Structure 1
Amino acid sequence: MAGLRSQRGQVLVLGMLLAAVLGLAWLRYFATGQVTAAKARMVHGLDAAAYSGALVQARTLNFLSYLNRAQLAHQLAMAHLLTLGGWAHYGGTQARRLAQGNPPAYLIGMLFGAQQGRAYLAAASALGLDLQARPGGALAQAFAAHEAFVHDYAQDLSRALAQGLPQARLDAIRAVLAAHYPDRPVQHMQPRISHDTWPALLRQHPPDAALFDLVRSIAGLYAFLEPRNATAQNAWSVDARCPGLRHELRRRGGTELDASGRWQSGDTQSFHAVRSNRWVGCYYREYAMGWAWMPSQPGQAISAEHADDAPADFSGQDFWRWVQASTQWDLLGRQANPLANSYAMQYRQQWPSRGLAGYLDVDSKAGPQATAGFVVHLTLPDAAGMPVHARSAAETLFSRPVPRTDGAAEAANLFHPYWQARLARPLLPLPGD
């Protein structure tokens, strides 16, 4: 009995030791759980912040795409305004010719039909419209406003958006983290960006061949900008020495983008009467009925035949003599209105333009599948004051919502607003991370 009494309490010692071990294990488990929870919370918040940063990139790229498309729309508006100004000028000059009876309206109707006669008579209502096409008029002011948007406002805005994106993206990341950690001081939220491909994604392009082709192809969709060419002939022979020739009424006009990226518009109409004499034989005597030439820079010239010093009338000399002495025109030419072109050049109305503007687009070096990716890093202290590290990656990619109708693959660009955001696999850290 005495031996048994001497062994009492030994189990208590072992129990206390076991309890201490279990307590330490529990404390360790609790601390690990806290770190794991803090880590999970940080990863979730950082993923949301990184995605928000990529979403800011996507919205910026899509806005830049709409801005490029807006520049195209303004260019097309300028082409329409220049054409409208040309029509106003053309209507005014034709109204004056009608008033002079050179040629008379009844003759046009008799030779080419009542519809042509009525159209010529309708020019009377356009008297004075050519004044609206002059620089400083309402149409010219609207043209200048579109010009300013293309070359000033849009250019400045696109540069500001591209240059300000890194800061806007960082502000969005910080805002999400601040909302995710309302219990922490804002100064603790110091995310760091690495592996950022944004600076190499975009490049400022000059007005290149691709832009010229795009603008011309879009202009081809508008009937108002299509060539305005038509020829009417009377039905009977008017001179026995010229049995194959007929009086002609030629309407010529068009709006085009020249090699310098500037719009130009011209419109003419002339009555070409068949004449003949013993010196030159058969020829066409041109009577200019209306003309207009709207260039948008000094030095632009009508591509069709014209003369720089055509006389205002031919009362003092024969038309054919002047043509032979002063020009290289073909008196039997049946394509253009060279005399009306000459008047159009002499009385042109110029609206100044700087031409097509440069544009921001994806750098070709970035490849057809270019993305704007980045990795965001964050370090925060846990409950015990120990630092907890986390990182997340996100990217903005070009992805069409539906395939192209022609089945072709489309490279990333800033003309279609198909940029989307997504999380990405974090890249390996840089040395020193």
Structure 2
Amino acid sequence: MAAIHSRRSQQGQVLVFGMLLVALLGLAWMRYFATGQVLAAKTRLVHGLDAAAYSGALTQARTLNFLSYLNRAQLAHQLAMAHLLTLGSWAHYGGTQAERLAQGNPPAYLIGMLFGADQGRAYLAASTAVGLRMQAGSTGELGRAFVAHESFIHGALRDLSDTLIRGLPQARLNAMRAVLAAHYPERSAGELQPVVSADRWSALLRWHVPDAALFSLVRDVARLYPFLEPRNYTARNAWMVEPRCPGMRHELRRRGTTVLDESGRWQAGDTESFHAVRSNQWIGCYYREYAMGWAWMPAQPGQAASADQVEGAPPDFSEQDFWRWVRSSAGWDLVGGQANPLAESYAMRDRQTWQSRGLAGYPDVTPAMGDQAASSFVVELDLTGADGQRIRARSAAESLFSRPERRTDGLDEAPNLFHPYWHARLAAPLAVLPGD
């Protein structure tokens, strides 16, 4: 009986230990649950912040690509100005040629006889250009279009680029806030305030004055357009003109150029002259020039196009022989020369100037950034969890220049704002937050 009583007195002792174990397990489970909640909240924050950071870098990349298109737009407007100036020169040239044709100086039949029917018909076609000289004026239709392009380059285009650059930090922040708001629809906008640090945006870009690189680029692009190529052609008659100089022939010289000068301004000129072989006992054989058409659109008032241009060239040579005037006033080479100096002098006298400020400044990557230029930033966010515990996270992203494929010449291309090859990606944060 004593044994039975002893066993009964020990019954229920395991229950005490069981209850203690259940309590410990409950505490462990609650701790595990709380830890899981924190980890879930932290994971959610990290994912949301990574998405926000990537969206910020994407906003940067799109802005950089847009700036690249704006720089290319400046090139397009410069080429449009070059074409308009060339058209203006042609209009002026056509108008002066129509006047010379009407005067018969030289007559069209003579040009056709010496240089072929095509040349004669081309000269006769100038009759349809009567009055075109007005189009070459600054108030003509072509001149107004030129001014519109000039104003856009130095006004709206520059202002838009500047606005994009200055407004990017706020636009990037707005994009990140929008992503976080979609990620946390239950939270107020006041709670979702990401903080940006280590921002390289301000160091990535700077405004460049028109430099050798831009001049070279504009000239290279201009070479793609045949309309802007030199307009030079010389026709020679087939038979001997003067026994004293059997190698000399009458010549019809067409000359014309459109160039970007060293001030960053376009200028264009066109001339055509009939150079007749003459001979006398004082100077022997020489070329007597008959100006048939001329135009010159200089980049700036008072500018000289060539050393052959002289002031005060007479409209005709009824009072003084051509060669005597050249000897006393011009000094042109009347035997070996290849230009149209008399027509060029008339062109200088009748020049039309379209005012231009030249090439405009442009935004581009700071040279010091090197080939690895990228606009990176770090973004941090601090939130309060459901249990009042604060959770923090940090993310980083960057916009970098990367060609979709290698250049055909095999060379590496430095980051720039003329090719829209900017992309976005996440990057490693610069440091780890305490407690992360």
Aligned residue number for residue 282 of structure 1: 285
Distance (whole Å) between structure 2 residues aligned to residue 406 and residue 426 of structure 1: 36
1:195 CA drift (Å):
1.4
SS of equivalent residue, structure 2 residue 337 = coil
1:94 CA drift (Å):
0.1
SS of equivalent residue, structure 1 residue 12 = helix
Of 182, 185, 188, the match for 2:185: 182
Aligned residue number for residue 266 of structure 2: 263
SS of equivalent residue, structure 2 residue 47 = helix
Cα contact 1:98–1:121 (8 A) shared by 2: yes
1:239 CA drift (Å):
1.7
1:186 CA drift (Å):
0.9
**1:209 is the counterpart of 2:207:** no
Distance (whole Å) between structure 2 residues aligned to residue 31 and residue 396 of structure 1: 38
1:7 CA drift (Å):
2.8
After TM superposition, list the pairs within 5 Å mapping 1:19-418 onto structure 2: 19-303=22-306, 305-418=308-421
Cα contact 2:101–2:127 (8 A) shared by 1: yes
1:392 CA drift (Å):
0.9
SS of equivalent residue, structure 2 residue 190 = helix
Distance (whole Å) between structure 2 residues aligned to residue 66 and residue 271 of structure 1: 47
> Counterpart of 2:305 in structure 1: which amino acid?
I
1:154 CA drift (Å):
1.1
Cα contact 1:377–1:391 (8 A) shared by 2: yes
SS of equivalent residue, structure 1 residue 186 = coil
Cα contact 2:205–2:365 (8 A) shared by 1: yes
User: TM-score, normalized by length of structure 1?
Assistant: 0.98
CA-based RMSD: 1.4
> Counterpart of 1:248 in structure 2: which amino acid?
E
Distance (whole Å) between structure 1 residues aligned to residue 350 and residue 208 of structure 2: 37
> Counterpart of 1:103 in structure 2: which amino acid?
P
Distance (whole Å) between structure 2 residues aligned to residue 124 and residue 425 of structure 1: 73
Cα contact 1:380–1:388 (8 A) shared by 2: yes
Deviations 1:71-109 (A, max 9, x none): 001000000000000000000000000000000000001
1:301 CA drift (Å):
1.8
Distance (whole Å) between structure 2 residues aligned to residue 432 and residue 20 of structure 1: 30
Distance (whole Å) between structure 1 residues aligned to residue 148 and residue 335 of structure 2: 44
SS of equivalent residue, structure 2 residue 314 = coil
Deviations 1:35-72 (A, max 9, x none): 01101111111111000000000000000000000000
Distance (whole Å) between structure 2 residues aligned to residue 420 and residue 162 of structure 1: 17
SS of equivalent residue, structure 1 residue 212 = helix
SS of equivalent residue, structure 1 residue 190 = coil
> Counterpart of 2:205 in structure 1: which amino acid?
L
1:432 CA drift (Å):
13
Cα contact 1:374–1:394 (8 A) shared by 2: yes
- Segments of structure 1 that go 5 or more residues without pairing to the other structure are none
Cα contact 1:304–1:336 (8 A) shared by 2: no
> Counterpart of 2:286 in structure 1: which amino acid?
Y
Distance (whole Å) between structure 2 residues aligned to residue 129 and residue 152 of structure 1: 30
> Counterpart of 2:384 in structure 1: which amino acid?
P
Distance (whole Å) between structure 2 residues aligned to residue 136 and residue 296 of structure 1: 16
SS of equivalent residue, structure 2 residue 345 = helix
Distance (whole Å) between structure 2 residues aligned to residue 156 and residue 242 of structure 1: 64
Cα contact 2:61–2:424 (8 A) shared by 1: yes
Aligned residue number for residue 427 of structure 2: 424
Moved more, 422-431 or 230-239: 422-431
Moved more, 231-240 or 294-303: 294-303
Distance (whole Å) between structure 2 residues aligned to residue 32 and residue 322 of structure 1: 103
SS of equivalent residue, structure 2 residue 395 = strand
Moved more, 240-249 or 207-216: 240-249
1:311 CA drift (Å):
1.0
Cα contact 1:304–1:341 (8 A) shared by 2: no
Count matched residues: 433
Aligned residue number for residue 18 of structure 2: 15
Cα contact 1:251–1:270 (8 A) shared by 2: yes
User: TM-score, normalized by length of structure 2?
Assistant: 0.97
- Segments of structure 2 that go 5 or more residues without pairing to the other structure are none
Distance (whole Å) between structure 2 residues aligned to residue 432 and residue 12 of structure 1: 41
Distance (whole Å) between structure 2 residues aligned to residue 132 and residue 411 of structure 1: 44
Cα contact 2:135–2:142 (8 A) shared by 1: yes
1:161 CA drift (Å):
0.6
Distance (whole Å) between structure 2 residues aligned to residue 387 and residue 228 of structure 1: 75
Distance (whole Å) between structure 1 residues aligned to residue 22 and residue 435 of structure 2: 44
SS of equivalent residue, structure 2 residue 186 = coil
SS of equivalent residue, structure 1 residue 188 = coil
Distance (whole Å) between structure 1 residues aligned to residue 211 and residue 372 of structure 2: 22
